[in-house]
Amino acid sequence: MPSSKLERFDKVDFDFKTVHGQPLTTSILIPKGLQSKPRQTYPTIVNWHGGGFVIGDRLYEGWLPAWLLDVSLKNSAIFVAPDYRLMPEASASDILDDVRDFWHWLHDTLPTLTTDWNAVPDLGRLACTGQSAGSYLAVQSALLFPELSQIKVLASMGGSLNTDIPECRIPGPRIILGKTPPPPAKAASTVRKYVKAIQPQTVRTSGDVMEMWNFLTCVLQQASLARWLGAEKKDELDVIKVLEKAQTLPPIWLLHGTQDSVVPPLCSTGFVERMKQIHPDVPLLLSLQPGDHGFEASRDGAEAWIQEGVQFIQKYWP
């Protein structure tokens, strides 16, 4: 077994943006051996990481499916993994600003940085994927910035897309990934204490999963994400409202665990229902499979439903 899911890639990091002196970084993962070949362009995958908009980072391997990296390797595709500002230090609008600025950087600046590379990202052959909160960012990339991102196909895994549902908006005791968060009163106090301690202009682009997991469960139980997303009262933060105004979107594969205790399956199925009404001609594959949140990261890719999803992606990419 590889010691790291990433050891079959060469990695190059670039800062695509700086906010209050804090760089936001993207990693370019190039399958080993491609740089030693004659100069050529290769298809590209952009992946947005999950973590409830609160924890994780661009290369946190615990939530990064090995089979998705295998798709990259088998297609000689360059894998691009950006960071973004995290809540509650950042607002939802801040995060979408980061997403927009990343796509500007990818198409405008990255080509100027790879002029001496032998393995060059082909940004005309681009798939976009995301897990959990990252699915929200992947789908928003296509909906809000279609001409800027130029995405050919999307894959959403456990995506927080249709969030105007009681499970996301009403606080209450929950079981999250088999464990009980602190009691509601203590959870609410934990969230308030953290938010109160945030210093002005604090920028955070990563959160240790072990150290901050208790805080995230408090955030989830108290429905804080829904309040943070809705606090600005901007339609562009609501995926369904953006979907209703969008002219179109790329083909999309949505994968969700039927026992998801973090992001209810209705977040994906509700999106699919509305999408079929508004954009009935856009190719769509919905995979509902037994499993809790993030279960896809522990699968090896041999499952029939993963093979079906990969085949769906490969109809439109590379």
Q: Give catalytic residue positions.
A: 132, 293
**End-to-end Cα spacing for the chain:** 28
Cα–chain center distance at 186: 29
In whole angstroms, what is the distance from residue 186 CA to residue 29 CA? Answer: 42
Read off the DSSP letter of residue 176: B
**Angle made by CA atoms 296, 90, 81, in degrees to the nearest 5:** 40
Contacts of residue 91, Cβ cutoff 8 Å, sequence gap at least 6:
228, 231, 232
Instruction: Determine contact, residues 83/24, Cβ cutoff 8 Å.
Output: yes
Q: What string of DSSP letters covers 266-285?
A: HHHHHHHHHHHHH-TTS-EE
Name the burial class of residue 20, with classes exposed (0-12), middle (13-18) and buried (19+) by CB atoms within 10 angstroms of its CB.
exposed
Name the burial class of residue 313, with classes exposed (0-12), middle (13-18) and buried (19+) by CB atoms within 10 angstroms of its CB.
buried
**Angle made by CA atoms 214, 65, 220, in degrees to the nearest 5:** 25
In whole angstroms, what is the distance from residue 10 CA to residue 42 CA? Answer: 14
Kindly report whether the peptide bond that precedes residue 318 is cis, defined as omega within 30 degrees of 0.
yes
Backbone angles phi and psi of 21, in degrees to 5: 80, -5
